[in-house]
Amino acid sequence: MKITRAVVPSLFTTLNIFCGFLAIMNAGQGKIEMAAWFVILAAIFDSLDGVMARITRSSSKFGVELDSLADVVSFGAAPSVMVYRAHLSVFDNWGILIASLPLIFGAIRLARFNVQLVGFDKDHFSGLPIPAQAITLSAFLLENYSDGLGMIGAARDALAPLVLLVSFLMVSRVRYETLPKLTKRDIAANPWRVVGFGVAALIVIFSKGQYLFLVLFAFICLGLIRSGYHAVRRWGLHIEKEADEESEVSSIDI
């Protein structure tokens, strides 16, 4: 068997899948906190496979497809099992339906991304990336779930709306910024994006992960606010254009 440079990023992708499997195993046994940590570890390996592909210059269609399959397991199936076992099981059939959404919409989001790979906007994602959805749910559970006590306080009521929100955002057209590349060209072109992600990383590091969910939720809300602003702006420009056209027609009639 011939070993090529493409093996390096594929190895990290394989570790991503394995962490997803371990997350599902632990969630199935009711070890939600451990499952959440394995999802976060899977996300680390997911980011490293892209880095390794760029370093070794070995990106391939095979790698893209393998990465998508890994993401469905680690960031689709694993979070769905986690939220169901953590609390949504108390809602019977409705709980099953809501818990399935990260998996179903995550798969749809990945399929849409793959068919749009050629010519897609490299600075923004269309819809919330599936790893961000999975890490958000994992961070929420780590903050509000105890393996001995279950969901704590108001978090029990907030879990289902949060799952619905992040699931629908994955298949939405809301734009989210990609991770900045630490190159001179990217820093010069998008300095505020680099600063923003840097500040967010420092907050998570110095809080020892306690503010991870808040940082991710702020990222989600920022995308929604920016999308709403652009929608209102487009609507305003459309109204202004219609008013100008009506004014031109009136002047011609006169």
Residue from 47, 64, 98, 34 nearest 201 by CA: 47
The pLDDT value recorded for residue 206 is 86
* CA distances to 39, 45, 158 from 50, in Å: 17, 9, 33
Q: Which two tokens stand for residue 139?
A: 């961070």
Residue labelled with tokens 């939720």: 217
Q: Which two tokens stand for residue 156?
A: 């029990």
Reading the chain (254 residues) residue by residue, the pLDDT tens digits are: 455 666 778 888 999 999 999 999 999 999 999 999 999 999 999 988 877 777 777 667 777 788 889 999 999 999 999 999 999 999 999 999 999 999 999 999 998 888 876 545 566 788 899 999 999 999 999 999 987 788 878 889 999 999 999 999 999 989 888 776 666 676 676 677 778 888 888 998 888 888 899 999 999 998 899 888 888 887 877 676 766 666 665 555 55
* CA distances to 18, 102, 103, 115 from 84, in Å: 21, 11, 12, 30
* Domain range summary for the chain, segments of one domain joined by +: 7-178
* CA distances to 4, 7, 49, 61 from 1, in Å: 10, 12, 22, 20
Residue from 211, 214, 217, 204 nearest 169 by CA: 217
Q: What angle do CA 215, 90, 140 make, to 5 degrees?
A: 10
Spatial separation of the C-alpha atoms in residues 130 and 207, rounded to whole Å? 24
The pLDDT value recorded for residue 1 is 47
Q: What is the pTM of this model?
A: 0.85
Query: Across the strands, what pairs with 124?
Result: 177
Query: Across the strands, what pairs with 151?
Result: 145
Give the DSSP letter string of 172-223.
S--EEEPPPP-SHHHHHH-HHHHHHHHHHHHHHHHTTTTTHHHHHHHHHHHH
Q: Which fold has domain 7-178?
A: Four Helix Bundle (Hemerythrin (Met), subunit A) (1.20.120)
Q: Which two tokens stand for residue 2?
A: 């011939």
Q: List phi, psi (to 5°) of 217.
A: -65, -35
